[in-house]
Structure formats: structure tokens, C-alpha cells
Amino acid sequence: MPQPLEPTLASLPSPVLRYFAATRPAFLSVTFVGVLLGLASAAASGAHLDPATATLTMFFALVAHAGANVVNDYYDSLSGCDAVNTGRVFPFTGGSRFIQNGVLSQHTVGRYGYSLLAAVIPAGLWLTFVSAPGLIGIGLAGLLVGWAYSAPPFKLQSRGLGEFGITAGWLLVVVGTDFVQRHGFDFAPVAAGLGFALLVANVLYINQFPDVAADAQAEKRTAVVRLGVYRARWGYALIVALAYGWLLAMLVLGHLPTLALISLPPAAASIAAQRDLWRHAGVPSRLTFAIKMTILAACLHGLLLAGALIITH
């Protein structure tokens, strides 16, 4: 099957389309699912869902994720890892290629990414006003994680800590969405969201395998660079075990309804990805299926769990 073509200035003549595509919109699906899971968590606890605040939460969560994607491209260009990445599996790894292919300048991408992150702040303040002050802490933590994942001085991914940042970030998406509707904190969105957030972290984790040579050359010390591709395969399996183990633990402890078991079958996609990763960890061109299955597992798990919560509330 032919690989998708990388972006070029000629293929994106419209400035609006160009800036939209630079956010890597196809990968915003995990945030869409995370917000749905947060809304379902609130509804399952009896909270009244307000359409206006739910819509605003969804929109600006997607904007925040888009901003983090663009900022990541900017810092990966500064480090040089995207420029030397010949093993990339486009469009999944190696960045958006907007800077490297001359679609947008490095300066423009950096300014655009920070503008998107800044645009979230007024919406967050309004949502805080209509819900409760605790949302400020959630929002600031989310923005910090999105920025610190790539940017100095933290550079979490480059220090082998990216998976922790991603898990925290997508758990905050679920918790923050629930908070807006509930007007307070509760353990319910943590019970529903942590397994999902771990599966999202595995998307970023598996994407490091094709990029390992370029990351190492640019001194970007990701978890896979530190462990080496063969030992790092165990990390993928550990994250899968933690994600589905959390789901089962929450079921046994009564924090999730029995119907939440319908979100367990996506483990088959995770296992299929693990099998392919185990065989082809050192061959980037053979990892496309494993990457797709990892994305499918995260999205399908979140959607099925959200459906189970809605049905049983």
C-alpha cells in the first residue's frame, strides 16, 4: 500500500488549509475521545451535561492538543532530529514535515504553536467562572504538560519521561472535562481515564521506535533511545498491562460498572501491535501496522468505556 505523501507548499496553496494541516488534525482523535470519556464520567455520576460548556471544552481541548503538536514540531526542528530522520514512518513519526519541506518556516511554526496554547487561556478562565476555581489548577497543569513535553528546560520526552507526561496530560483531559460538568473533583474520572491515558501514552511510545536513530543523533534521549529497541519492547508490554490492569481493578473495586467490560476487547489490538513490535522493532518500515493498532486500541477503548458509562447512568 502506498504511503501518504508528505506536505508541500504546492499541495497546500490555501493558507487556511495549510495552518489547519500543520496541527496534525488526524491525531487529535485521542483528545476527542478523552473529552467524550470525561463527559460520560460526569453523566454517569448524575451530573447534568450543559451543551454549551461541553462544546467549548471539546473545542479548546482540541486547540490545546493542536498547539502542543505544533510546539513539538518546532522544538524537534530546533534539535535537528526531524531533519535527520530518514527512518520515519510518515505520517505517524518524524513530525509533520512542514518545516523540513518548506511549507512553513521554523519561526512561523513556533509562533503559531504558542498562539494556539495561549488561545486556550481565556476559554479556560470562562469555564472556571461557570464551574469552580479548581479548574484553574487542572488547566494550568495541562498546559504545562503540553509545553514541557518538548520545550526546555523540562524536555520530558528527551529525558525519557515523555510517557509520564502524556499519561498525565490525557488523564487531565478526562478529569478536566468531568470537572466542568460536575463543578468539582471526584475519583470517577480517574477510574475511567487512567487506563485510557496509558494507552495514549503507548501511541507516543511506539512512535519512538522508527525515530530512534534520528533521536539518538540529535541527543534526544527518549525512553527507546535509553533502553535500545529490543529492551524497549518490554516497555510497550508493561504499559498495556498497566492500562487493562487498571480497568479490571476499577471493576473489581466497584468504581466502574460491570458493562465497562465491553472496553476490554481492544486489548486484542494492543496484543497484535505488541506481536508486530516484538518481531520488527528494529525495522521502521515494518511498524506501520503496530502503530495503527496502538491508535485503534486507545480510541476504541475510550469510546466503548464512554458508551458503557452513558448506558448505565
Is 148 part of any domain? Answer: yes
Q: What is the pLDDT of residue 216?
A: 93
Q: Residue 65: is its pLDDT beyond 90? A: yes
pLDDT tens per residue, range 8-22:
999 999 999 999 999
Is 20 part of any domain? Answer: no
Share of the chain above pLDDT 90, in %: 96
Cα–Cα distance between 237 and 114 in angstroms, integer?
34
pLDDT tens per residue, range 123-164:
999 999 999 999 999 999 999 999 999 999 999 999 999 999
Q: Is the dihedral of CA 252, 257, 260, 261 positive or negative?
A: positive
Is 8 part of any domain? Answer: no
Backbone phi, psi, residue 193, to 5°: -95, -20
Q: What is the pLDDT of residue 284?
A: 92
Average pLDDT over residues 248-268: 97
Q: What is the pLDDT of residue 2?
A: 54
Q: Residue 313: is its pLDDT beyond 80? A: no
Is the distance from CB of 224 to CB of 216 less than 8 angstroms? no
Q: Domain limits at 306?
A: 28-312
Is 14 part of any domain? Answer: no
Is 4 part of any domain? Answer: no
Cα–Cα distance between 66 and 72 in angstroms, integer?
10
Q: What is the pLDDT of residue 4?
A: 76
Is 17 part of any domain? Answer: no
CB atoms closer than 10 angstroms to residue 209 = 25
Cα–Cα distance between 209 and 229 in angstroms, integer?
7
Q: What is the pLDDT of residue 10?
A: 94
Is 22 part of any domain? Answer: no
Is 151 part of any domain? Answer: yes
pTM for the model stands at 0.96
pLDDT tens per residue, range 161-217:
999 999 999 999 999 999 999 999 999 999 999 999 999 999 999 999 999 999 999
Domains held by the chain: number: 1
What's the pLDDT band for 37 if we cut at 50, 70, 90? very high
Q: Residue 286: is its pLDDT beyond 70? A: yes
What's the pLDDT band for 3 if we cut at 50, 70, 90? low
